[in-house]
């Protein structure tokens, strides 16, 4: 069974209700027969495969098979999950192995940590409520968007929910994402020059935004970053991100200008004024990036769906 020794659910103790099935999604509620615990499950499928799931648990304890209360237990929990996940989906990519290796380097759960293992960058964020793990791929010395994410309550909080809704689980976009074979033909300096040109054009049309200040005298520094972002169906391309910061924040809240420009074509993706209160302008050409769902979950849900599917097949064949 997937995630053996990590999660266990006695499906006979739950009643299924509020089942909603659409072309690419499914949701339902599992409520135990004693009306003590209730699990809300939301799942999304892509090309017939499970893409992500949210599981929300209310009342009662979390259905953990073992308590995670130390960094050693936490790492063991992650290692077991990665192992079972690979077995369940029959994946052998080094991406997942490198995630586990990166996690093994963590000595303690601090507020924020970044660990790199080979071509995988792992970010770990810890709060009073939970631990978030986000994983990116490193391509040509640039990082992709978050392709793999895992969330679970902080070790000190397990296994109590205090009557509040709690989400547990993970998502995996790595299996559905392709890195485009695109060469970087538009240089960093060209991206900076184009951003400066666009910024000048913008403020020449909106001089009131400068509040009487000189644009040349306002510029403090320029920051750039090369990343891989979505353009087309789950395909990532190189992208320059450029930020120009001012020496001061203007009375109307404007403190700089930013763009994102495709590094393989030089085409503008976004162009925005940076401001505390300012509504950013919308570019003519804009693509939707590969979005990462907030607090996605799959750990518990995969078990639930797996058990439900197995049970259904068993009854169907009897």
Per-residue pLDDT of the chain (318 residues; tens, 9 = 90+): 333 444 445 556 667 788 888 888 888 877 766 666 666 777 777 766 666 666 665 544 444 444 456 778 778 878 877 887 787 677 788 999 999 999 999 888 778 899 999 999 999 988 777 788 999 999 988 999 899 988 776 555 544 444 444 556 677 888 888 899 999 999 999 999 999 999 999 999 999 999 999 998 899 999 999 999 988 777 999 999 999 999 999 988 999 999 999 999 999 999 999 998 654 443 433 333 333 333 333 334 444 444 444 444 444 444
d(CA 35, CA 15) in angstroms, rounded, equals: 10
Partnered with residue 32 across adjacent β-strands are: 14
Residue with tokens 């499950």: 41
d(CA 123, CA 125) in angstroms, rounded, equals: 7
d(CA 30, CA 56) in angstroms, rounded, equals: 10
Which residue, 243, 252, 229, 237, is CA-closest to 271? 243
Q: Which helix (H) or strand (E) holds 268?
A: strand 268-275
The CATH 3.10.450 portion of the chain extends over 188-275
Which residue, 34, 4, 32, 67, is CA-closest to 306? 4
Q: 0.95 cut: is pTM over it?
A: no
Residue 126 in tokens? 């810890």
Longest CA pairwise span in the chain (Å): 81
As its CATH architecture, domain 188-275 has: Roll (3.10)
> What phi and psi values does residue 296 have, to the nearest 5 degrees?
-85, 155
Residue 41 in tokens? 């499950």
């Amino acid at each position: 069974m997937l995630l053996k020794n990590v999660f266990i659910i006695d499906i006979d103790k739950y009643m299924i209700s509020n089942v909603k099935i659409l072309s690419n999604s499914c949701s339902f509620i599992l409520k135990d027969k004693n009306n003590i615990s209730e699990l809300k499950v939301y799942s999304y499928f892509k090309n017939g495969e499970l893409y992500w799931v949210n599981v929300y648990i209310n009342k009662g304890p979390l259905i953990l098979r073992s308590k995670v209360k130390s960094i050693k237990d936490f790492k063991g929990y992650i290692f077991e999950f990665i192992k079972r996940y690979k077995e369940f989906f029959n994946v052998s990519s080094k991406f997942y192995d490198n995630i586990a290796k990166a996690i093994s380097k963590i000595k303690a759960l601090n507020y924020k940590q970044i660990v790199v293992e080979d071509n995988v960058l792992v970010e770990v964020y810890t709060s009073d409520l939970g631990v978030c793990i986000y994983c990116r791929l490193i391509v040509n010395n640039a990082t992709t968007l978050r392709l793999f994410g895992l969330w679970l309550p902080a070790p000190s909080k397990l296994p109590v929910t205090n009557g509040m809704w709690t989400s547990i689980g993970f998502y995996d976009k790595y299996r559905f994402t392709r890195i485009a074979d695109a060469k970087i033909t538009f240089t960093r300096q060209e991206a900076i020059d184009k951003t400066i040109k666009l910024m000048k054009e913008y403020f020449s049309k909106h001089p009131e935004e400068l509040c009487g200040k000189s644009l040349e005298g306002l510029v403090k520094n320029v920051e750039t970053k090369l990343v891989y972002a979505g353009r087309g169906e789950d395909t990532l391309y190189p992208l320059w991100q450029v930020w120009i910061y001012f020496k001061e924040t203007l009375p109307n809240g404007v403190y700089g200008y930013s763009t994102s420009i495709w590094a393989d074509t030089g085409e503008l993706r976004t162009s925005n004024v940076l401001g505390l209160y300012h509504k950013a302008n919308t570019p003519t050409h804009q693509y939707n990036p590969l979005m990462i769902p907030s607090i996605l979950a799959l750990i518990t849900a995969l078990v639930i769906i797996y058990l439900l599917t197995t049970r259904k097949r068993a009854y169907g064949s009897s």
